[in-house]
Structure formats: C-alpha cells, structure tokens
Structure 1
Amino acid sequence: MSTACSSDDDNNNSTPPVINEVEGLTKIQEIVNNNHTIELYSKSGHFYTGYNNISLRIKDNTTDAFFEDVTISWMPVMQMPTMQHACPYSAITKAPGRDTVYQGNIIYQMTNTDGSGWSLTLNYTIDGTDYSVTDTITVLQYENQNVASFMGTDNTRYVLALIEPQNPKIAINNMKVGLYKMENMMSFPVVENYTITLDPRMPGMGNHSSPNNTDLTYRTVDGTYQGNLSLTMTGYWVLNLKLLDATDTVLKGESVTEENPQSSLYLELEF
C-alpha cells in the first residue's frame, strides 16, 4: 500500500506549478518586430517622469516561448524641435529569481504635456544573432516634482531623481536619490562622491522642518545617494536640497531661512 501511495504522489507532482514571472507587475506596452515581441512592465503600468524601475521579457513570435538567455541594452531618446537627447538609464540585468524577466531603470527628466516625444530602442542578442527594435513610448508627467534637471555653478548639467521613499510613512524614511551628469546629449553617467544636504519643510504648516534628518551620501554598492528623511505628519513636503561637490563647493541650492523659504534645488513628496 505504501508503495502505491508513493507512486500516486509522484504522478500527481510530475507537472511543476506554473510560475507567473511578472506577478505584481502591469504591462506598459509591447514593442514588436518580425521575430520577437518585447513586453515592458512596471508596477504602475506607465512610464512617468522621474525614476522608473522597468521589467521586460522577449517572446518568440513563432513559438510564443519567452527567452531565458538574452543580452539586451536600451536607449531612450526624446525628440525636440531642433535636436534630440537621451536621459539617465541603467544596464539591464536578469531579474533575481526569474528565468525570463530582465530589469533596469530609466530616469525621464522631462516630457511633453501630452506624454509624447520619447522613443525607446532595444538592442539585443539571442544565440549569437543581433536584433534591434524601436518604438514610440508615452511618458506621463508625475504629479509632484520627483526629478530635477539643472545647471550647476561648474557649468555642468545634472539630473537628480527621487528613488525612495515610494511609500512614505510618518517615521524616519530611507531617502534614496540618483545623481547623474550630462556628459553629452546621449550620455548621463552616475556622479560619485558628492554630498546632498537635506532640509524637508511643510510650506502649508509654517514651513516647519523635522528632527533627525541626515544628509545624503554616495553608496558605491548601487551608485545612489542615501540618507534619513524624517516625516512627522502627512501632507505636502518640500525636500530642500543643496548639491556639494567633493571639495564641498555648493553647485546648486541654498539654505532655507526666513528670508529664503525654499531652495532652488528641491523635490516634493505628498502622502
């Protein structure tokens, strides 16, 4: 009897459970060429100005199977009336614990009022063959200022983007931002070893601040700047910032005083 039961169990477990590799994600769009369909995903199902964590996978149009071994890169480009430019973006890597899903991030520093202007090119290699596909994408304007593009006093253009907190709480929140410089119209490398001072204020509540904030410093492990953001109540917060280079020279931003209620370099939170 015990042998028969063991055999039944083996038969019942012969088909492994189907794992939804994009569970918790919403499809943004598909980009298709003659051979493949590239599916783009995020939690929201949209591209927004600011930091976007993006997942993607590539499907064989003939077999409907998703590829597990792909080398892939991307290039987001915005077409302006007289020129075009890119934006900061990461390399694309295999998503942890996933067979067919890859991930990376793109920081859109601007968009048109109707979400138009951007295209996304994907270059990828499968079994030694190179492919490319380009399509237009829609980038919506985020409701608060979660990204700043500005010229520093060193005549360098920077892009600063809020990464965390995505779900702020009345507490000490881990604040994480990305800082990039415009090397040229198509290249925005990460800026290392600067300092970003933080002074959060509530304009609607007498512009009061909060205790236990810390300035943001560079973390080599993921190429971001992190510090402590203290939020003492719900509502609208302005995160006043100053950008200092490696010699502590202020490149952008001012201290908040009674005469100067807001820095020219800031991000916004509302919760």
Structure 2
Amino acid sequence: MKIIKPIIAIAFLAIALTSCTEEDNDPINLAENPLEEFNLLTTIEANAHKIEVYSDQDQYTVGYNELFYRIKDQNTDNYVSNAEIVQTPIMHMTSMMHSCPKSDIIKTEDLGVYRGFTVFQMPGNAEEHWELNLEYTLDGQTFTASERIAVKAPKDDKRRVASFMGADDKRYVVAMMPMAPAVKVNDFAAMVFTMENMMQFPAVPDHFLKIDPRMPGMGNHSSPNNEDLTYDAATGTYKGKLSLTMTGYWKINLQLIDPQGTVLKGEEVTEDNEASSLFFELEF
C-alpha cells in the first residue's frame, strides 16, 4: 500500500513552514524506500548527487502530475533530508521557451522524500521537448541539475487540461484533478492558473467553473445533481460534484467565469450548441 497521500496547492505551503529537526539530518536507511510502489520516471546525476523523480503514473503526462523527489549523496550513499528544492520545467519550442503551472516542492512526513506538482500543457515531440530544471540547496550550498524529459499525451487520449486566451485577454490554464470516476455523484476538482509571463503561472483563487456533463454518444444527455466548482482555499482547488449516471464516454462542458459574472471561456450547451469550446473528457 502506498503510504504517501496526495496533496495539492495550499497544503504544500503549510508543510513547507514546518522547521527542520535534528532528526532530519540523520542518514536515511537505503534498505527502506517509501516510494518503492511508485514509478521511477527520471534519475539525474549531477554535483555528486543522484536525484530521483517518482510518480504514481508511469510517464510524465499532459495535465496534472504529482511528483516525488529523493536526493542521494553519492559520496556517502545516503539520501538527504535537509534539501530545499525549486523546480522549473521548460518547454523548448522551435521559436520560444515557456514553463508551466507548478508548485513549491516541500518535505513529506517520510524523511528524504519531497513532493510537488506540475501541470504540463502540451506533449513533447521530435522537434520540441520539455526539460526539468532543478535548483537545490544543501547545507547552504546551491546546486543546479537538469534533464530532458518525455511528456506524453494521456494513454486514453482524453483531455484533462486546457490552455486558452480568455475574454479578458489573459491566458489561462485549467486542469482537471485526478479522480476515479464511478456511476454516482463524484467529488470533482480542478485547478485554474493564469499566465503572468512565459515562466510564471500563478493560481487564480476567485473565479468559478460551471460544469455540464454530457454523453455525446447517447443523445447528448446530461445528469442530475451536479454542482458547479467553487474555490476551496484549504486545497487551492475548485471543488464541486460530478454526476455520472452510466459508464461510457463523457464530455465535461465547462465555463470559466470571473467574480463579476463575465464568462471568460466556454458556452452553454443548448439544442443549437451541443458542446462548449472548453471541456474535459472522461471514459470509464
């Protein structure tokens, strides 16, 4: 059983404020890996350190990715528990470079394990690729490391993230949080970011996400008891309810609305308009 529980957004900040203890500097037993049931995505060797990046997924995926880090001191063969890590994923395109929404990286309850998240807006390809850049500080000394990574589309090819220009001339990234859909009223969550510049994507805390789930292959019917998504400061996500009345393919039509009630992106589903231009997809 995985012992590390996923966390998001503001929860990272609370743990980040926890001070180090003397116990933090103890060598980490190599025989015990709290991430052994996760997938090792990347190993970066630099500065006499080996940096391991884990995920519960088996690839870097377009959309939300929770990532776990460990740093081994190759001189002592021990994992360090007193590091401060900053991540900066960079997309190298043919004509420009940009980053993506990302969190701080914080310590977990497991010594030597750190975690954060990234939201990749697009996959890499033969000409364009993502690079994971890390800056980390140990005992007052700062190091850098980087590695090219392969970010791929979800294996089911369903949309879980959207990047777009809003009606207010700001660019937004909206990402669906991981979920295990079932025939019931499901908890449903998303994150909303705006692009301040090519490298900074701060979270947006005061908007709304209207949802209208439909089954295009079944007469485009909807479902009862859905709840639109509103911002939850405790988690940094937008939370609501998603009613799924049967298995199959669902299009989760969305509208992003600002505090003044202006629709920034997305359209209502009507008899004359079968889908919104802003949506997520599910199939189960």
- The two structures have a TM-score, normalised by structure 2, of 0.87
Partner of 2:234: 221
Per the TM alignment, residue 45 of structure 1 is displaced from its structure 2 partner at its CA by 2.5
> Is the alpha carbon distance of 1:99 and 1:207 closer, same or farther for their aligned partners in structure 2, counting shifts above 3 Å?
same
Distance 2:67 2:274 in 1: 36
- The two structures have a TM-score, normalised by structure 1, of 0.91
Q: List per-residue Cα deviations over 1:106-157 (Å, max 9, x = no partner).
A: 0000123459510011001111111110111110111210100011000000
Q: List per-residue Cα deviations over 1:158-196 (Å, max 9, x = no partner).
A: 00001132x111111111111000000000000011010
Per the TM alignment, residue 19 of structure 1 is displaced from its structure 2 partner at its CA by 3.6
Per the TM alignment, residue 35 of structure 1 is displaced from its structure 2 partner at its CA by 1.4
Q: Which has the larger radius of gyration?
A: 1
Partner of 1:139: 151
Q: In 2, are the aligned partners of 1:113 and 1:141 still within 8 Å (CA)?
A: no
**Equivalent residues in 2 for 1:1-271 (5 A)?**
19-95=32-108, 97-113=109-125, 117-142=129-154, 143-165=157-179, 167-271=180-284
> Is the alpha carbon distance of 1:78 and 1:183 closer, same or farther for their aligned partners in structure 2, counting shifts above 3 Å?
same
Which consecutive residues of structure 2, in runs of 5 or more, have no partner in the other structure? 1-28
Give the aligned CA root-mean-square deviation in angstroms.
1.5
Number of residue equivalences = 254
2:98 counterpart letter in structure 1: H
Q: List per-residue Cα deviations over 1:31-86 (Å, max 9, x = no partner).
A: 11131011000012310000000001100112221001111111000011111000
> Is the alpha carbon distance of 1:27 and 1:147 closer, same or farther for their aligned partners in structure 2, counting shifts above 3 Å?
same
Distance 1:169 1:116 in 2: 36
Which consecutive residues of structure 1, in runs of 5 or more, have no partner in the other structure? 1-15
**Percent sequence identity over aligned pairs:** 46
Per the TM alignment, residue 223 of structure 1 is displaced from its structure 2 partner at its CA by 1.2
Distance 1:71 1:34 in 2: 15
Q: In 2, are the aligned partners of 1:115 and 1:140 still within 8 Å (CA)?
A: no
Partner of 2:5: none
